[in-house]
Amino acid sequence: MMLKLQTKTLLALASVMLVLILVITLASLASFRDFSIRAATEQTRTAAEMIRVALTESMLNGTIHERDSLLNRIAQIDGLDEARVIRGPLVQQQFGDGLTIEGTTDTTDYQVLNTGKAIYTLMGGYLSAEFRATVPYIASSQGDVNCLNCHAVPEGSVLGAVTLTASVKHMRTAALLTIVVLVGATALFSVISLLFLRRLLQPLVTTANEIEQAVRQAKTGDFSVRVEQRSNDEIGAIARHFNSLSEGITTKLSEIRHNVAHLIQSQPMANGDLLADTANTVSGLVKVSQFKQAIEEDETSEEVYQRICEVIQHEFNFTSNSIYEVDETKKQLNVISVNNIAQAPLEWCNRDITEKCTACRAVRTGHCINGTENTLICRSFSNEARQNGKFYLCLPVIQSGGVGSVIQLVLEAKDLKRAMDAKPLIESYLREAAPVLQAKSLMASLRESTLNDAMTGLRNRRFLEEYSDTLVNQCKRRGTSMTLIMMDLDYFKKVNDTYGHDVGDSILIDLANILKAHVRESDLVIRYGGEEFLIILPDTNSEDGFLVAEKIRKAVEEHQFQAGSVLINKTISAGVADYPSDGQAFWQVLKYADVSLYAAKDAGRNQVVRFTPELWISEEKY
């Protein structure tokens, strides 16, 4: 059980006071007892001396036989209760037993007669009111009267003793009275002190209780509780400072909250704990900023999407999700990832969204599609998923005013609240990702454009420079060969000269289409120079490659090109070389294909020549 501050202080003070009273009582008792004994000792010693003098005088005067009445008179002295003389053995020997009362009565008498030392004692215990003194009379030849004149005893021997009893009752009464007064005064002082202290502690205790209450509330994020300022002393100052601290925290937190709301464009999550909520949201924003830094340094949009996946999975713990991207034509949706797996098959939406991107409601409207309450809001959400109790939240990523991609969270009933709470922060991530994704895709298409030939749409020589290593590595990895076909239009100059460059251009475009139409999707058609084209056939040996080249040659020969208002026929010549059987270096094989092309030209054109080592007569090394 926790003792309150006030109770503890009052208990401590009460204990101190009790001990003080006890000490005062005991000290008073001890000192009064000591004083009583001293006073009674002095009194009885004086009385004993008087009796001795009186007895000596009686002996000298010959009235010793009247000593009985002398002792009775002495016993009448105020404060003395009894005076009794005891005759010692030597005196008894000399003068007989004496009076009956002069015999020894108790051990104290014997002890005094034997030792010659006086005994002073309180009779009957510590608080007794009766004091007894048994004082010996010692034979001495010194002083006024020589005892040895009358007593036939040796010097220093014990003649007898006198036992006196005196009442110390009046002293005890006085002592008890004093103690009562002292204790009473101390008790009164204690009570007054306790009351005063209680009054003094009251504001401190009340303020402390209120602060404790306010701190308790503050721990739950509620800083609205204020403490009443009851005085102008330090306690009042504590209350005042506490209030201004709470005020400051509330204001600053509200300010932070306001700024955070501005940043995430929504009210931050609020579970009632202002501090914890704000801290959570701020740390969420810090992560958003770190995310932004990371994606800016990423190279491709794929890496950015990968990071979005990681955030959704690890930061927000939504494992079922999809990411879709609107393609360049703005007509289709590409699946970027499903459940964090890149380019996985569609799982949560119908196929129609990939064929027509406006089938996706998020793409069509550019708004967040909240399928957490009504899963029928988007018809493209998979029926199967709906029947399996799945919900969804689709967040569009807006780029240049249009939807660039869509992040879809697929949820179970237990995740709905969590998803709605997380939505503003996820949207913050997406807002940061949007311009970066746009920049990456612009960069990619820019880069793509530098690798393509603008007129024919074919890859260009620059692409070949970048891609040749990949092609070679693929061949090595798969253990296959690839065929390079270098081809050139025959007498193309004539076309330009006769029909003009525009006709020449259109013939080149037509030729590019013929070439593309006669190779596989995986083959590469490159505009290598003006009217020179290179076809790369991966995983193809030179025999098959030769057949492809021949097929193309034939197709061109049979094709009629539009030259202004007339149709004309054109032919091509081609040289075929094979990597790696003709050469170990890509550019060497390319040169061999070129050499073969020129051999075809030399042989009369409109033909395909397969490279043979005899064709290579140059000393030039690669």
- To ligand GTP, the closest distance from the beta carbon of 555 in angstroms equals 18
Smaller CB separation from ligand GTP, 147 or 512: 512
* Both structure tokens of 599: 């051999």
Q: Please, which of residues 383-412 interact with ligand GTP by CB under 6 A?
A: none
The DSSP-derived string for 588-601 is HHHHHHHHHHHHHH
Instruction: Check binding of 273 to ligand GTP (CB under 6 A).
Output: no
Catalytic, out of 82, 228, 531, 557:
531
Give the one residue of 20, 140, 601, 606 binding ligand GTP; rule: CB under 6 A. Answer: 601
- To ligand GTP, the closest distance from the beta carbon of 574 in angstroms equals 12
Q: How far apart are alpha carbons 260 and 274 in whole angstroms?
A: 13
- Least Cα distance to 411 among 437, 468, 372 occurs for 372
- To ligand GTP, the closest distance from the beta carbon of 529 in angstroms equals 7
Smaller CB separation from ligand GTP, 196 or 491: 491
Residue 4 DSSP one-character state: P
* Both structure tokens of 14: 């009460």
Smaller CB separation from ligand GTP, 437 or 512: 512
How many Cα atoms sit within 13 Å of 262 on the Cβ side?
6
Q: Please, which of residues 430-489 interact with ligand GTP by CB under 6 A?
A: 488-489
Distance of CA 399 to the CA centre of its chain: 37
- To ligand GTP, the closest distance from the beta carbon of 404 in angstroms equals 35
Q: How far apart are alpha carbons 143 and 157 in whole angstroms?
A: 16
- To ligand GTP, the closest distance from the beta carbon of 601 in angstroms equals 5
- Least Cα distance to 240 among 218, 207, 200 occurs for 207
Distance of CA 557 to the CA centre of its chain: 78
Smaller CB separation from ligand GTP, 117 or 501: 501
The DSSP-derived string for 270-291 is -SS-HHHHHHHHHHHHHHHHHH
Binding mask 153-172 for ligand GTP (x = CB under 6 A): --------------------
Residue 381 burial (10 A CB sphere; 0-12, 13-18, 19+): buried
Smaller CB separation from ligand GTP, 402 or 529: 529
Number of residues that bind ligand GTP (CB under 6 A): 15
Q: How far apart are alpha carbons 185 and 281 in whole angstroms?
A: 66
Whether 531 is catalytic is yes
Q: How far apart are alpha carbons 539 and 474 in whole angstroms?
A: 9
- To ligand GTP, the closest distance from the beta carbon of 506 in angstroms equals 9
What is the DSSP pairing of strand 572-579 with strand 608-610?
parallel
Binding mask 480-519 for ligand GTP (x = CB under 6 A): --------xxxxxx--x----x--xx--x-----------
Catalytic residue positions?
Answer: 531
The footprint of ligand GTP (CB under 6 A) covers 488-493, 496, 501, 504-505, 508, 530-531, 601, 605
